[in-house]
Chain A
Amino acid sequence: MSALTGTVTLTRLALRRDRVGLSVWILGLSALMAGLTAMTVSALPTEADVLHETEFMAGNPAMRMFGLASGASVGGYAMIRNYLTLAVLAALMSVFAMVRHTRQSEATGRAELVGAAVVGRYSTLAAAVVVTIGANVVLAALLGLAMLVNGQPVAGALTAGAAVGAVGLVFSGVAAVTAQLSSSSRGANGLAAAVLGVAFLLSGVGNMLGSVDAVGLRVVSAWPAWLSPIGWGQQMRPFGGDRWWLLGVFAVFFFVLLGTAGLLATRRDIGRGILAERRGPATAAPGLLGPLGLARRLQRGPFLGWAVGMLAFGIACGAISDATKDMQGAALDWYTRMGGTDRVVDAYFTSIMSMAGMGVAVFTVQMLLRMRAEESEGPLEPVLAAAVSRPRWAMSHLLNTWLGAVALLLVFAVGMGLAAGQVLGDTPAQLRALTGAALVQLPGFMVIGGVVIAATGLLPRWAGPVSWTVLLGSVLLGPLFGPSLDLPQWAQNLSPFTRIPKAPAADVTATPLTALVAVSVVLAVVGTVSLRCRDLALPA
Chain B
Amino acid sequence: MSTAIAVSGLIKEFGPTRALDRLDLTVGTGEVHGFLGPNGAGKTTTIRILLGLLRRDGGAVSVLGGDPWSDTVALHRRLAYVPGEVNLWPNLTGGEVIDLLGALRGGLDPARRATLLERFQLDPTKRCRAYSKGNRQKVALVAAFASDVELYLLDEPSSGLDPLMEAVFQDVVQEMREAGRTVLLSSHILAEVEALCDRVTIIRAGRTAESGTFDELRHLSRTTVVVETGKPISALDELAGVHDLSADHTRARFSVDPGELNQVLRNLVEFDVRTLTSSPPTLEELFLRHYGNDDGASADAGAGTVGSGGAG
Contact = CB atoms under 8 A, between A and B. Distances in A.
B180 to A, nearest CB: 22
A278 interface: yes
B87 A284 contact: no
Interface in B81-133: 81, 83, 85-93, 95-101, 103-106, 124-127, 129-130
Contact of B87 (A290, A297, A379, A535): A379
B88 A388 contact: no
Contacts of A184: 129
Interface in A177-216: 184, 186
Most-contacted residue by chain A among B103, B140, B311 (CB, 10 A) = B103
Interface in A293-307: 293-294, 297-298, 301
A284 B99 contact: yes
Contacts of A483: none
Nearest to B139: A382
A288 interface: yes
Given A282-B125, A288-B96, A379-B89, A386 B54 contact: no
B72 interface: yes
A387 B311 CA distance: 24
Contact of B99 (A186, A277, A288): A288
A289 interface: yes
A283 B104 contact: no
B218 interface: no
B76 A385 contact: yes
B77 interface: yes
Contacts of A281: 93, 95-96, 125
Most-contacted residue by chain B among A282, A288, A535 (CB, 10 A) = A282
B30 to A, nearest CB: 22
Interface string B260-294: 00000000000000000000000000000000000
Nearest to A183: B130
Contacts of B126: 277, 279-280
Interface in A513-540: 533-536, 538-540
Interface in A376-413: 377-379, 381-389
Contacts of B44: 540
A290 B99 CA distance: 10
Given A277-B126, A298-B89, A379-B88, A389 B73 contact: yes
Interface string A213-240: 0000000000000000000000000000
A387 B73 CA distance: 5
Nearest to B127: A280
B105 A384 contact: no
Main secondary structure of the interface of A (DSSP, over half): loop
B301 interface: no
A385 B73 contact: no
Contacts of B100: 284, 288-289, 293-294
* B interface bracket (residues with beta carbon within 8 Å of A): 35 or more
Contact of B83 (A298, A381, A535): A381
A333 B100 CA distance: 55
B51 interface: yes
A533 B125 CA distance: 38
Given A291-B104, A382-B81, A278 B73 contact: no
B251 interface: no
Nearest to A376: B87
Nearest to A184: B129
B243 interface: no
Contacts of B95: 280-284
Contacts of B85: 378, 539
A386 B76 contact: yes
Interface string A290-325: 110110011001000000000000000000000000
Contact of A387 (B53, B105, B130): B105
B253 interface: no
Nearest to A388: B104
Contacts of A288: 96, 99-100
Given A289-B100, A385-B76, 18 more contacts: A277-B130, A280-B126, A283-B99, A288-B100, A301-B91, A378-B87, A381-B53, A381-B87, A382-B83, A385-B81, A387-B74, A387-B105, A533-B55, A535-B53, A535-B54, A536-B53, A539-B87, A540-B311
| Nearest 3 pairs of A and B residues by beta carbon | A378-B87, A284-B99, A386-B104
Interface of A: 184, 186, 277-284, 288-291, 293-294, 297-298, 301, 377-379, 381-389, 533-536, 538-540
28 contacts: A277-B126, A277-B130, A280-B93, A282-B93, A282-B125, A283-B99, A284-B96, A284-B98, A284-B99, A284-B100, A284-B103, A288-B96, A289-B100, A290-B104, A377-B87, A378-B83, A381-B87, A382-B83, A382-B86, A382-B143, A383-B104, A385-B76, A386-B101, A387-B73, A388-B73, A388-B104, A533-B55, A534-B55
